[in-house]
Structure 1
Amino acid sequence: MSSAVLGVPAPALPIDLLRQFDVPGPRYTSYPTADRFAEAFGADDYLQALRERRDASAQAGPLSLYVHIPFCESLCYYCACNKVVTRHRERGRQYLAYLAREIELQAAQLGRGATVSQLHLGGGSPTFLDDQELGELAALLHRSFSFERGGERSIEIDPRTVDAQRLSNLAALGFNRLSFGVQDFDPAVQQAVHRVQPASQVFSLMAAARALGFESINVDLIYGLPRQNDASFERTLAQIRELRPDRIALYAYAHLPERFKPQRRILAEELPDAAGRVRMLARAIDVLTQAGYVYIGMDHFALPDDPLAVAKRHGRLLRDFQGYGTRPDGDLIALGVSAIGRVGATYSQNAKTLDEYYDRLDRGLLPVVRGLALSRDDLLRRAVIMALMCRGRVDFDAMGEALAVDFRHYFATEFAALGPLAACGMVRLSDHDVTVTEQGWFLVRAVAMVFDRYARANRTRFSRVV
């Protein structure tokens, strides 16, 4: 197994290799990806999946919960999330009332008291809800589910919406992991994307969070934003090294104004060119690995003693709609507008607009409006893609035995397609296995795409690998 897969900082990544694989591709938080979801899969199909899980409760593992809070006080121009920009605080309370209805409907099908090992609040900005409302949401969840001791309780934080007291209140509610949305520390870049937040504010919040004993703190960064350049991004990286969060998520900005209306406010001429983006990514990899961070995969870094890095070293890394994780692979119950869940061999997504979400709940219906029941081929390919994304290796005989297929025969086309990746040093290929190399690990999406039956014909919908 490669040193990168084992969690050892990797050598510098050649810029030529980054340029070669700067193509659109899925992020593989699921396989098949959400663009394959269809309205032919609806609430009745999801109900059936919930009932099957309930009937097999003795074999079912703990659940994960995701709650989507869509509201933001101001618009960030780069954003491609499902959000509602408003300063009307009463909209949060209305939304909470409808979340209560959905939680009740879900719990009625699952059976009350289903065990939960993970909870994640995302958005939007979950901290749009005030502390009382967040407390009410926590109480709603605890009335319907049974939370494991020591489980993960994470929440995404807009630094502009919290102070030390709010962080203390979140800790009192049981949250033990935070993710701060930083994106970039440069004032000119912040102005260009309409997200101004002084670095001093983030440093102060980080100190407060550490004093309160939060177990893991993540910081989100984005490269490829307007007005970013080599010098400005170098300064941001230096500040991140000083801040030293436990985890770093480094995303490539995907400029798709035809799909995401807020991005139309970004001036295309202010965006760094492809060569500039590649240089920024290469420099970030160098700086962060030299600072002691382990590259987890898919733009994620963690300090060596963080549970994410430990899971990587021991081959226990997993991947779901929230990205990389450490908990056993299992079902994800999604709550709120646009939220995506996974139950058994199905994916489901709630209504994307508040009006439709509210309307379905007013009629006593679960708000699932589309999804997918996975075929056997989907399940086979998902197992291979997730093995590559999480462990960086596929043993053909072991995988074939686990999946009850002749691996070399079933994936003969894909096996041949791995040849060019081996030739350029992305993978090591033998008659028995394929292993992602140190260099290939930074572009593992490109390796996984070899086994993706759908992506070849629909790449333009995805962000770029670099």
Structure 2
Amino acid sequence: MADPFAWDESLLRRYATRGSRYTSYPTTLAFREDFGEVDYQAALARSNASGRPLSVYVHIPFCRNICFYCASNKVPARATRLAEPYLSRLDREMVLIRQRLDTSREVQQLHWGGGTPTFLSLDQMSDLIDRLDARFGLSDSRDRDYAIEIDPREADVLTLRHLQALGFNRLSLGVQELDHRVLKAVNRVQPRALTEALIDEADRLGFRSLNLDLIVGLPLQTRDSFAATLEQVIAMAPARLSVYHYAHLPKRFAPQRRIRREELPSPEEKLAILRTAVTMLTEAGYVHIGMDQFARPDDSLAVAQRQGSLQRNFQGYTSHADSDLVGLGVSALSRVDDVYTQNHTRLAAYETALDASCLPVSAGLRLTFDDHVRRHAIERLLCDMALDLDALGERFGIDAPRYLADALSRLEVLEQDGLVGWRGNRLEATPMGRLLIGHLAMAFDAYRPSEPDPTDTNPL
């Protein structure tokens, strides 16, 4: 395999410290607990004047089987009837939000995440869609972006046909790995045939885009085993691939205590796995969009990146992020007007708030002018792999080099290491810098903690 980059392993090891994926700036670490329901209600009301389209995220926390690597907010459950009280509370949350929100605005994006959204029965999925349509008015536009995360063990061809009938046009399959030994070690055994059957049916039904999730750093994984997985995945020809980094934090996440540390790949082997992933996917024609995301050149993400319109939100890269994002469900995040909010992360607290007819906000933040400037700088870096300081200065009416002098000073070391260069007042990531784009973004982060949140990481 020919390397697409002049791979510098010593440099990658030096920058192996964890950093944020910046699905928001400021990140959730900066959210304040004294930000509450009244602040969110005011933001919902202010957002109506913008006329921006809406994006709705729904968190379904239930999982029938807990994977040992998982760091998501989930609720173990076996029977789908256990989701009924939760669905009722989701509807109550919608009602409370609708009281402040102009719902004539188009719901351009819809995303169901988890947990395992396909834990729900087909009838429950239909019921939830009906409630969303009744409260917000869902779109039938061809340009809508309606996606759902799928566990191949919890879906079949009938599920996909039902999802298409409900209006979903994008799918994300949690594959993680195809090596049986690795899957067994993380309690996620799923035959390859399940994944292939869903991919074939999704293609036959004409879903607009299919994303496969993979994880690097799982127990018993090697560069050779992951190469074998990638060879099979590439043959499946998904439009998008997300290659996530596993962070082993057993003290924080109980399921991870079932993973044997001695079976995890060494740091050197993990770098070799990453090198294999980048090389094989690039040779197969995938574009490394940035961070953890790869896409085919004709996919909407790659097209948006070439056009300079790619954006980023709590779900990652998107071509439809110029909207107000309303998050529903336990732990859900929202980005409305100039605020971020997060719902209670504990199911009991979420339920208690809604039973008292209160929005279940646990923390949030209203952005300052400085936050807006730095958020834009970080977003353009992550999406364009470059930052035009002249355009930034014109957008915000500032002398950008002077205003961001602290960030530019921090970039000097990265420039010396060959990760970034200048073309006039345009900052551009080098090929190696693209692999470490999160570290370039960190230079602009005014909230940078000495110890970043290790669950919000990816070396790509």
What is the letter of the counterpart of residue 342 of structure 2?
A: Q
The structure 1 residue matched to 2:352, chosen from 350, 355, 359, is 359
What is the letter of the counterpart of residue 32 of structure 1?
A: P
Matches within 5 A, 1:429-448: 429-448=422-441
Aligned to 1:16: 10
1:48 to 2:42 alignment: yes
d(CA) in 1 for partners of 2:412 and 2:176? Answer: 37
What is the letter of the counterpart of residue 295 of structure 1?
A: H
Aligned residues: 455
Q: CA deviation at 1:141?
A: 0.9
* 2:100 match: secondary structure: helix
Say if 1:53 and 1:343, in contact at 8 Å, map to a contact too. yes
Q: CA deviation at 1:328?
A: 4.4
Aligned to 1:4: none
Say if 2:291 and 2:458, in contact at 8 Å, map to a contact too. no
1:34 to 2:28 alignment: yes
Stretches of structure 1 that go unaligned for 5 or more consecutive residues are 1-8
1:84 to 2:81 alignment: no
Aligned to 2:285: 292
d(CA) in 2 for partners of 1:240 and 1:27? Answer: 24
Matches within 5 A, 1:35-184: 35-54=29-48, 56=49, 59-148=50-139, 149-150=141-142, 151-184=144-177
1:247 to 2:240 alignment: yes
Q: CA deviation at 1:10?
A: 4.7
Say if 1:64 and 1:116, in contact at 8 Å, map to a contact too. yes
Aligned to 1:337: 330
d(CA) in 1 for partners of 2:6 and 2:161? Answer: 40
Aligned to 1:3: none
Q: CA deviation at 1:74?
A: 0.5
Say if 1:22 and 1:464, in contact at 8 Å, map to a contact too. no
Matches within 5 A, 1:318-337: 318-337=311-330
Aligned to 1:451: 444
* 1:457 match: secondary structure: coil
> What is the alpha-carbon root mean square deviation over aligned residues?
1.5
Say if 2:390 and 2:400, in contact at 8 Å, map to a contact too. yes
Q: CA deviation at 1:465?
A: 2.6
Question: CA separation of 1:395/1:50 partners in 2, compared to 1, >3 Å: closer, same or farther?
Answer: same
Say if 1:311 and 1:326, in contact at 8 Å, map to a contact too. yes
Matches within 5 A, 1:331-410: 331-410=324-403
* 1:405 match: secondary structure: coil
Q: CA deviation at 1:243?
A: 1.1
Q: CA deviation at 1:430?
A: 4.6
Structure 1 residues 87-135: Cα deviation after superposition (integer angstroms, max 9, x where no partner): 0321111111111111111111103433210000000000011111111
d(CA) in 2 for partners of 1:163 and 1:94? Answer: 25
Q: CA deviation at 1:393?
A: 1.7
Q: CA deviation at 1:464?
A: 5.2
d(CA) in 2 for partners of 1:53 and 1:10? Answer: 44
1:283 to 2:285 alignment: no
Structure 1 residues 293-335: Cα deviation after superposition (integer angstroms, max 9, x where no partner): 0111111101111111111111111000000000142210000
Identity over aligned residues, as a percent? 45
Say if 2:90 and 2:328, in contact at 8 Å, map to a contact too. yes
What is the letter of the counterpart of residue 310 of structure 2?
A: L
What is the letter of the counterpart of residue 24 of structure 1?
A: R
Q: CA deviation at 1:17?
A: 3.0
d(CA) in 2 for partners of 1:385 and 1:93? Answer: 40
Q: CA deviation at 1:432?
A: 1.4
Aligned to 2:251: 258
d(CA) in 2 for partners of 1:357 and 1:320? Answer: 23
* 1:429 match: secondary structure: strand
Question: CA separation of 1:463/1:320 partners in 2, compared to 1, >3 Å: closer, same or farther?
Answer: same
* 2:106 match: secondary structure: strand
Q: CA deviation at 1:142?
A: 0.8
Q: CA deviation at 1:39?
A: 1.0
Structure 1 residues 334-372: Cα deviation after superposition (integer angstroms, max 9, x where no partner): 001110000111100111122111111111111111111
d(CA) in 2 for partners of 1:144 and 1:64? Answer: 13
d(CA) in 2 for partners of 1:364 and 1:464? Answer: 38
TM-score (norm. length: structure 1):
0.95
d(CA) in 2 for partners of 1:108 and 1:12? Answer: 55
Say if 1:296 and 1:308, in contact at 8 Å, map to a contact too. yes
Q: Answer 1 or 2: higher relative contact order, Cα 8 Å, separation at least 6.
A: 1
Say if 1:446 and 1:465, in contact at 8 Å, map to a contact too. no
1:201 to 2:194 alignment: yes
Say if 1:12 and 1:285, in contact at 8 Å, map to a contact too. no
Aligned to 1:268: 261
